[in-house]
Amino acid sequence: MAQPRKRYKFPATIGDYVADWIESECRHGPGDVYGEHVVLTSEERAFLLDAYAIDRMTGRRLIDIGVYERPKGTRKSELGVWTALAEMRGPTRAYLEGTEKTLGPPMDPYITVLATTEGQADATAFGALRVVIAASPTLVGAFDVGMDRILMKDRPGKIELLASGKPAALDGARPTFSLAEELHLWVGPTLSEAWATNKRNLKKRLQAQPWVFSPTTAYRHGAHSVLESLHEQAGRHATSRKTLGRLLYDRRQAAEGYDLGDPVQLRAAVVEAGGDAYWRDIDGIVGEYSDPRVPESEFRRYWLGQVVAAEDAFIDPAEWRECEQAVTLEPGETITLGFDGSLSDDHTALVACRVADGAIFPLGHWVPSEGGQIDQADVDAAVQHAFDTYNVWSMFPDPPYWWDWVAKWQADFGDRVKPFNTNSKAKMSPALDAFRTAVRSRALIQPGNPTLTAHVLNAVQKDRGDYLAVAKSTPWSRDKIDMLVAATLAYVARNDAVAGGALVVKSRKAYSW
């Protein structure tokens, strides 16, 4: 017997109504097209359709966070401004009154405009709000516009400028909508706390179905911005509109692989990155690439929308991804081990490197408990298991904090355990250089382990005179690099094993009579 079809009360989205309202009521703000009618592009409309998706039975919103990541010059800030005005007066919520479906703004809308500093917000979103209102005939008389707040005249409603660099100023706010610009600039504990505070604030008015919209440029990999954490949540490889739970992440970039030294390919990359933002000055952007004051990493982020590491990154993310293969480590295979240990702050890691092909395999990763230490007995058990399971040619452990255990492993496994002091610049510099060279030449294989990848890409190169060294991006960063250190020790131990005849011995075993 056929099941009766559901009789939905609402459409899947009201984004088309919002888009139509913007085109009807809003005008362009600062710039050469001041006061002209707004005509949204297909990409802008597509974002609004997804951002205003609703439950077809209840009419409630399905998205809490909407990220619109685009290169510079694509008027993403204006899209945020137009959306904020729609949230004040437009058809942004679906209501059911008896059997009648209606659309309208939240009751008593309260909108916060957030930025890293008051000056940054005023120079972009909040300043643009004032200009757009002044340029829009049907809106100019509806608002009382001040320097740091905008009020509706005919009914309750407020837009307020808040600096997210002062988290305490956000505490207690009850927004129905937040415009959080340039999340790639939200870096460090203070701004992370501000983001967390704002997210909590969005839970205070459930009837209003609040949400936050972030128009933003691509982030710098390794800076650990709020935007980078959101992209990781959506999936590192998200390169178009992607919805994960109640997060909408919509980004556009030029594909990797363009040779920017070729003028034809450079221009093609700029055009692709801009999408349907037809007004961009392509010639001017192309010319920006040859400006010696503009680092290539910044050009790629700002104008091509590519997530790249800064010039001080130890490993290029694209090169690391190209080393990824689906590989497994089988019992009995010949390996080397690298170990980097800590006690109560940094992490502890044990990594293997297969001698036959240079493939890296994490074998253990320990995080100290809060206020506690690493379980050293558990680490010892993992080392014992590695020696019992595989043919361990050698182990390079970093001994500080672990002198007693290294001595025990030397007693257990003899001269296969060779302490390697990573604090020795003369030893660690060539080891890091060998690891990075192996990545660049694709001589190293990595299995795509997320913790290993994070630790490798967290590291930045530090100037130590003639020596190569790595460190965390900032002293206060909670993102660790310990598994990179262990992997480096495992890889140089593998090189030492090859030089010592490990591959020759394996060959003789395989072909002896």
Query: Residue 413 sits in a domain of what CATH number?
Result: 3.30.420.240
- Is the CB of residue 398 less than 8 Å from the CB of residue 485? yes
The pLDDT value recorded for residue 13 is 97
Answer yes or no: is 1 within a domain.
Answer: no
Supply the pLDDT for residue 374.
86
What integer pLDDT is reported at residue 506 of this predicted model?
Answer: 47
| Cα gap 473→455, rounded to integer Å | 11
Q: Is the pLDDT of residue 311 over 80?
A: no
Percent of the chain with pLDDT over 90: 60
Task: Tell me the mean pLDDT in the region 135-154.
Answer: 93
Please say if the pLDDT value at position 242 is more than 90.
no
Specify if 390 maps to a domain: yes
Question: Residue 230 domain-assigned?
Answer: yes
Q: Residue 339's pLDDT is what?
A: 97
467 vs 490: which has the higher pLDDT: 490
CA gap 37, 298 in Å, rounded: 33
Mean pLDDT of 35-49: 97
Q: Is the pLDDT of residue 362 over 90?
A: yes
Same domain, 285 and 218: no
Q: Do residue 138 and residue 246 come from a single domain?
A: yes
Whole-angstrom Cα distance, residue 318 to residue 212? 31
Alpha carbon distance 243, 50 (integer Å): 8
For residues 304 and 394, membership in a common domain is answered with: no
pLDDT at 334: 96
Q: Which residues contact residue 311 at a Cβ distance below 8 angstroms, ignoring those fewer than 6 apart? A: 295, 296, 297
The answer to whether the beta carbons of residues 213 and 86 sit under 8 Å apart is no
Query: Tens of pLDDT along 367-399?
Result: 887 667 888 999 999 999 999 999 999 999 999
Residues 469 and 341 in one domain: yes
The 10 Å CB-count burial string (b at 16+, else e) for 232-253 is eebebebbebbbeeeebbbbbb
Based on the fold, state whether residues 224 and 305 are members of the same structural domain. Answer: no
Judgement on whether residues 300 and 196 belong to the same structural domain of the protein: no
In this predicted structure, the answer to whether residue 2 has a pLDDT above a threshold of 60 is: no
Do residues 456 and 483 share a domain?
yes
Structural domains of the chain, count: 3
Query: Quick check: 362 and 351 in contact, CB under 8 A?
Result: yes
pLDDT at 512 over 50: no
- Determine the average pLDDT of the residues in 235-248: 72
Q: What is the CATH number of the domain that holds 41?
A: 3.40.50.300
Closest by Cα among 398, 394, 457, 455 to 428: 398
Same domain, 343 and 438: yes
Whole-number Å distance between alpha carbons of 114 and 164: 6
Q: Is residue 315 part of a domain?
A: no
DSSP code of residue 73: T
Predicted confidence at residue 269, as pLDDT, reads 96
pLDDT of 468-486, one tens digit each?
888 876 655 667 889 999 9
Q: Is the pLDDT of residue 1 over 70?
A: no
Q: Residue 449 and residue 324: Cα distance in Å, rounded?
A: 9
Q: Tell me if 482 sits within 8 A of 340, measured CB to CB.
A: yes
Domain boundary among 251, 279, 298: 251
The alpha carbon of residue 133 and the mean position of all alpha carbons in its chain are separated, in whole angstroms, by 34
List pLDDT tens digits, range 411-464.
Answer: 999 999 999 999 899 999 999 999 999 999 999 999 999 889 888 988 888 766
Average pLDDT, the chain: 88
- Asked whether residue 3 is domain-assigned, the answer is no
**Do 368 and 287 reside in the same domain of the chain?**
no
How far apart, in whole angstroms, are the C-alpha atoms of residue 222 and residue 277?
29
pLDDT at 238 over 60: no
Please report, in angstroms and rounded to a whole number, the separation of the first and last CA atoms in the chain: 73
pLDDT at 199: 86
Q: Which amino acid is located at 126 in the chain? A: F
Same domain, 139 and 63: yes
pLDDT for 147 = 84
Percent of the chain with pLDDT over 70: 89
Q: Residue 304 falls within a domain, yes or no?
A: yes
- Span of 18-22, 53-57, 374-378, 479-483 with lowest mean pLDDT: 479-483
Domain holding 395, by residue range, is 321-506
Is 314 contained in some domain? no
Helix, strand, coil percentages for the chain (3-state, nearest 5): 40, 20, 40
Name the DSSP letter for residue 5.
Answer: P
Q: Are strands 460-464 and 467-471 parallel, antiparallel or unpaired?
A: antiparallel
300 and 438 housed in the same domain: no
Q: Report which DSSP code applies to 492.
A: H
Beta carbons of 217 and 72 less than 8 angstroms apart: yes
Counting other chains too, the contacts that 276-284 makes at CB distance below 8 Å and 24 or more residues apart are 276/41, 276/42, 276/43, 277/41, 277/43, 277/70, 277/73, 277/74, 277/75, 278/41, 279/73, 279/75, 280/73, 280/74, 281/73
CA atoms of 349 and 347, how far apart (whole Å):
7
Interacting residues of 1 by C-beta distance below 8 A, sequence separation 6+: none
For residues 124-139, give the mean pLDDT. Answer: 92
Question: Scanning the structure block, which residue is given the tokens 């709020």?
Answer: 226
In angstroms, rounded to a whole number, what is the distance separating the alpha carbons of residues 62 and 387?
51
Cα separation, 429 vs 425, in Å, equals 6
**pLDDT of residue 170 exceeding 80:** no
Q: Which pLDDT does position 507 carry in this prediction? A: 41
Last residue of a domain, one of 223, 251, 279: 251
Confidence of residue 213 (pLDDT cuts 50, 70, 90): very high
512 within 8 A of 505, measured Cβ to Cβ: no
Judge if 337 and 407 occupy the same domain.
yes
Residue 495: count other Cβ atoms within 10 Å of its Cβ: 18
d(C-alpha 113, C-alpha 119), whole Å? 12
Please indicate, yes or no, if residue 495 is contained in any of the structural domains.
yes
